[in-house]
Structure 1
Amino acid sequence: MTQNNLNRRSLLRGGGAAAAGAAAVPLLGTPAGAAEQRPGGGVGHGPPAGGADSVVPTRDPLIEQRADPWITYPHRGMYYMTGSVPAYDRIVVRGAPTLEGLAHTRESTVWKRPSSGRMGGHIWAPELHRIDGRWYIYFAAGDSDDVFRIRMYVLESRAEDPREDAWELRGQITTAWDTFALDATTFEHRGSLYYVWAQAEPGIDTNSNLYIAEMDSPVAIKGDPVRIAVPTKEWETRGFRVNEGAAVLVRNGRVFMTFSASATDANYCVGLLTADAEANLLDPASWTKSPQPVMETNEANSRYGPGHNSFTVAEDGETDVLVYHARSYREIEGDPLYDPNRHTRVQKLNWYPDGTPALGIPIAEGESVVRLSPLDSPESFVRHGQGGRLVVDRVADRVERSQFRIVPGFLDPGRVALRCVDLPDHHVRVSDGSLVIAPYADSDEYGRASGFIRDEGLAGRDGVSFRLSEDPHSYLAHREGRLVVERPRGWADRQRATFRVR
């Protein structure tokens, strides 16, 4: 059995979840089938800002009105995408050779709910997986007489292209209880195929918890499922007590599982569960839940309720990509489930020095997002710190403070400004010879102080340098953990004044 989700560094999907009141419970199975997953790569494309981020589309949203988005790793040069449609009445798949292309390509309806009876209600959160040379779609469905009698089902296709009309319903994936169950995902790790899902367990006062079990085949579970996460923290229990929407990434000797929590309005957020890659993933003690959400509503960027994410890789085959949905407004009339504007969004997934994923904040539309790393300290990045000062370090947390956009200058289109991603009204500017971030002011003085001349790197073409508008001999430079203004003289100075755009 193979399910390959590899980029050049590692298996990109594996799984688990952190345990609060975890326990093992018995489980029922379903008939067998067979299962494979493999990514590809391609050529990156870049807007003027350049750098690794430029291989990730800056279009936001990437696709409108597609919640619970799932984008596959490239398969034979194609990305495939599915997600919930606002009518909750069908399953759709689209495909394109680039992430950006998914925004423009046709969409095929591969399965429609029956007009009545079982599965005739809400159709939720389909996921598309290729396992052992076949495609599988895991989805949740209600019944026509009770649209919220949600249970989990699976479709199978032997076609090479999942957009083809070749899908067969393989039936329900049953669990220990006939209760509300949804958001199934699957992944392979160390030769075993795992299934993770959300379910309401009798006797536990929550809407849904997370469970994991080994799979006997792509259409059946074997053995006992294990409860690995229960919503107990304040940020998991806003509106509803929910853990759901798991997605898995194996990297740096660990298995990372993101999940979504709370109600599907602006309270919706992303949590993180972590296990050692050598641990027994069916042991609830193997999993640790991070104490705070790793992505949540961001007022400054007008992104509300980010969640139900997945992961893929950019066309360069190396840059990790976070896929998620979010709204662009807070206020919702009626039940949030029937507000259609949870849009599919993508952004680069960064990593902290300790090897954990840095999801950051949901980023608004605009120029390519970049991080600036000085040539003399390649593991460090420019970021804003206490009092708005600009520092250079390894960014152990709050990755968004090290993310900028290179935008046109305010007084001269030949100049550029460096805009903060987390404070989009703030720009880097010179103040009394020091570099700080400061909110925009409609003045010539602000325009001059925040305008820089972007040059080819003083220490090589693989970097960029920024000259002051008012003093063409002075540059932004790294000096002893600070971003400063200085006039480079020797080669070491040129390296300190050259930044890789990453």
Structure 2
Amino acid sequence: MTHSLSRRRLLAGGISGFGLAASGLMLPGLTGQALAAPTASPTDAQVYGAPTVSPLVWQRADPFVTLPVDGTYYFTGSVPEYDRIIVRGSSTIAGLGAAPESVVWRRPSTGQMGGHIWAPELHRIDGRWYIYFAAGDAGNVFNIRMYVMESALADPREPSGWSAPRMIVTPWLSFALDSTTFEHLGRRYLVWAQSEPEIAVNTSLYIAEMASPFALATAPVRIATPTKSWEVQGYKVNEGPAVLVRNGRVFITFSASATDSRYCMGLLTADARADLLDARSWSKSADPVFTTNEQTHQYGPGHNSFTVAEDGVTDVMVFHARDYKDIVGDPLYDPNRHARAQRLYWHPDGTPLFGVPVGVGGPIVRLSPADSSSSFVRHFAYELRVDADVRELADSQFRFVSGHSGGDTVSLQSVNYPDRYVRVTSTGLRIDPVETTGTYAAEASFQRLPGLANPRGVSLRSVASPGSYLRHDKGRLVTGPASGSKSTFFLS
């Protein structure tokens, strides 16, 4: 785990002033919650609410991470060869990246299921494991159907426990994939993508109640079909559903368009008390909620799953994306869709905030003034201020990095504009690109100190003006003399 020694010493109070170690390593932030003295180096999830490793698992698309079962997270996903189903496990989400991988099933060399194997998901249902996946036939790899297999063993990494796959039958013998299952108010549902013969699109999304983990109990109901401009780039696609029940609502993320840089995610929402088998219960986001980001160099994010961090509370989204835009040949056969994980945030109205795919870097924090704990430091038009209603999540996300002035200073790097840093200028606080001058280095560097009003927070003293601190002033972010809670910020 990156910088585990620094984090352990920090939590134990072993680094004076919360500054950077002399080595210049990045020093992660603290949450605004009391933490017990650790007996071992805490994980990123324990400190920040989510892992910060990116990519999480290399060359694994359509990633699925379970909720922890008996202290273990399990991972599965599509492999570039599309020829097998893999499972790995770890006590932490971040640990999945280096965890050994077990092949629990391989496709036959001929006949049914001898083609592409796509998008496996691993579900724990009534004390048994189930893997849902899609498979094509040898000689016709796009004759894709949905399958499920079962294991009664406690460890899903054990190949010997898995039964032969069984097809999930729907009313149409057509292209069908990306099945996921969830239970809500005592009823189990299946959601999947399929090409309905009467609909002139590649795939739409359907839901049905299940009679068993292998079979439908009701007729499918179409709840989404690609009609918006962002859903029909290259292909007319709604696929890759993932379900999250929170805040009195049922949310389903889904992926749209071709699997290159145009791939993106949309959101369906239903009231948790509504009839989920009534198409009218579902509304679709007007715009995509998670897209390619040129600044962070993350392209085609999509086909996600949800889990929770080790704290048992913080929601984490796992998805795949590429680190480059230009692809040679068919993007389906480009192997470098890597699995990634980042924290999912929530707006006060109970709706999810996805932000941007954040790319490579250290832990991410939001800063809330101690005198306005429901507000966040954010940039808007490159100027810094404090707002309570921040819909553009990434505008309020930063990374602490080694200071441009060197020594024990820190700089605050913007997450969605990683070439820009918080800077004290004569006209106010901004995020600006790096300039190779001593003036810029001082203006973009701070001394990081224990919070003046509460040591669980932080206070940031300007290097350019040593007697000045970052301060909250009625929605403005300014610099000035130390002022208790106005100069203290909690990190989350």
TM-score (norm 1): 0.89
The superposition leaves residues 288-332 of structure 1 with CA deviations (integer Å, 9 ceiling, x where unpaired) of: 000000000001111000000001111111211110000001111
CA distance in 2 between counterparts of 1:474 and 1:391 reads 17
Contact 1:121 1:142 in 2 (8 A): yes
In the TM superposition, 1:269-418 aligns within 5 A as 269-386=264-381, 388-418=382-412
CA distance in 2 between counterparts of 1:51 and 1:152 reads 44
CA distance in 1 between counterparts of 2:265 and 2:388 reads 24
The superposition leaves residues 230-271 of structure 1 with CA deviations (integer Å, 9 ceiling, x where unpaired) of: 000000000000000000111111111100000000000000
Question: Which residue number in structure 2 is paired with residue 159 of structure 1?
Answer: 153
Contact 1:416 1:452 in 2 (8 A): yes
1:499 to 486, 489, 492: 489
1:147 to 124, 141, 144: 141
In the TM superposition, 1:54-453 aligns within 5 A as 54-165=48-159, 166-386=161-381, 388-432=382-426, 434-453=428-447
Q: Which residue identity lines up with residue 481 of structure 1 in the other structure? A: G
After TM superposition, which residue ranges in structure 1, 4 or more long, deviate above 4 angstroms? 44-47
Deviates more, 1:463-472 or 1:68-77: 463-472
CA distance in 2 between counterparts of 1:215 and 1:100 reads 33
Q: Which residue identity lines up with residue 263 of structure 1 in the other structure? A: A
- Give the number of the structure with larger relative contact order, counting CA–CA contacts within 8 Å between residues 6 or more apart: 1
Give how far 1:48 is off: 2.8
Question: Which residue number in structure 2 is paired with residue 37 of structure 1?
Answer: none
Question: Is the aligned partner of 1:51 residue 2:20?
Answer: no
Q: Secondary structure at the match of 1:169?
A: coil
Contact 1:395 1:402 in 2 (8 A): no
Give how far 1:365 is off: 1.0
Gaps of 5+ in 1: 1-43
Gaps of 5+ in 2: 1-6, 12-25, 32-46
Give how far 1:120 is off: 0.4
Cα distance change, pair 50–396 in 1 and its aligned pair in 2 (3 A): closer
Give how far 1:55 is off: 4.1
Q: Secondary structure at the match of 1:259?
A: strand
Q: Which residue identity lines up with residue 339 of structure 2 in the other structure? A: T
CA-atom RMSD, angstroms? 1.3
Q: Which residue identity lines up with residue 96 of structure 1 in the other structure? A: S
Q: Secondary structure at the match of 1:476?
A: strand
The superposition leaves residues 172-192 of structure 1 with CA deviations (integer Å, 9 ceiling, x where unpaired) of: 001010000000000011110
CA distance in 1 between counterparts of 2:96 and 2:343 reads 16
Q: Secondary structure at the match of 1:370?
A: coil
The superposition leaves residues 369-407 of structure 1 with CA deviations (integer Å, 9 ceiling, x where unpaired) of: 110011111111000013x22111123311000000111
Q: Which residue identity lines up with residue 301 of structure 2 in the other structure? A: P
Q: Secondary structure at the match of 1:272?
A: strand
CA distance in 2 between counterparts of 1:89 and 1:329 reads 25
Question: Which residue number in structure 1 is paired with residue 470 of structure 2?
Answer: 476
Give how far 1:54 is off: 2.8
Q: Secondary structure at the match of 1:223?
A: coil
CA distance in 1 between counterparts of 2:229 and 2:407 reads 47
Q: Secondary structure at the match of 2:48?
A: helix
Q: Which residue identity lines up with residue 374 of structure 1 in the other structure? A: P
CA distance in 2 between counterparts of 1:495 and 1:160 reads 51
Contact 2:390 2:396 in 1 (8 A): no
Q: Secondary structure at the match of 1:454?
A: strand
CA distance in 1 between counterparts of 2:112 and 2:29 reads 51
The superposition leaves residues 312-364 of structure 1 with CA deviations (integer Å, 9 ceiling, x where unpaired) of: 11111121111000000111111111000000000111111221111110011
Contact 1:271 1:293 in 2 (8 A): yes
Alignment length, in residue pairs?
454
CA distance in 2 between counterparts of 1:395 and 1:161 reads 44
CA distance in 2 between counterparts of 1:438 and 1:133 reads 54
CA distance in 1 between counterparts of 2:61 and 2:383 reads 38
Cα distance change, pair 110–135 in 1 and its aligned pair in 2 (3 A): same
Contact 1:208 1:241 in 2 (8 A): yes
Contact 1:404 1:418 in 2 (8 A): yes
Question: Which residue number in structure 2 is paired with residue 34 of structure 1?
Answer: none
CA distance in 2 between counterparts of 1:221 and 1:394 reads 45
The superposition leaves residues 9-44 of structure 1 with CA deviations (integer Å, 9 ceiling, x where unpaired) of: xxxxxxxxxxxxxxxxxxxxxxxxxxxxxxxxxxx9
Contact 2:27 2:401 in 1 (8 A): no
Q: Secondary structure at the match of 2:220?
A: strand
Deviates more, 1:388-397 or 1:155-164: 388-397
The superposition leaves residues 111-145 of structure 1 with CA deviations (integer Å, 9 ceiling, x where unpaired) of: 11111100000000000000000000000000002
Contact 1:153 1:170 in 2 (8 A): yes
Contact 2:30 2:457 in 1 (8 A): no
CA distance in 2 between counterparts of 1:389 and 1:333 reads 39
Q: Secondary structure at the match of 1:235?
A: helix
CA distance in 2 between counterparts of 1:73 and 1:476 reads 39
Give how far 1:472 is off: 2.6
CA distance in 2 between counterparts of 1:248 and 1:413 reads 46
Q: Secondary structure at the match of 1:168?
A: coil
Q: Secondary structure at the match of 1:151?
A: strand
Identity fraction in percent: 57
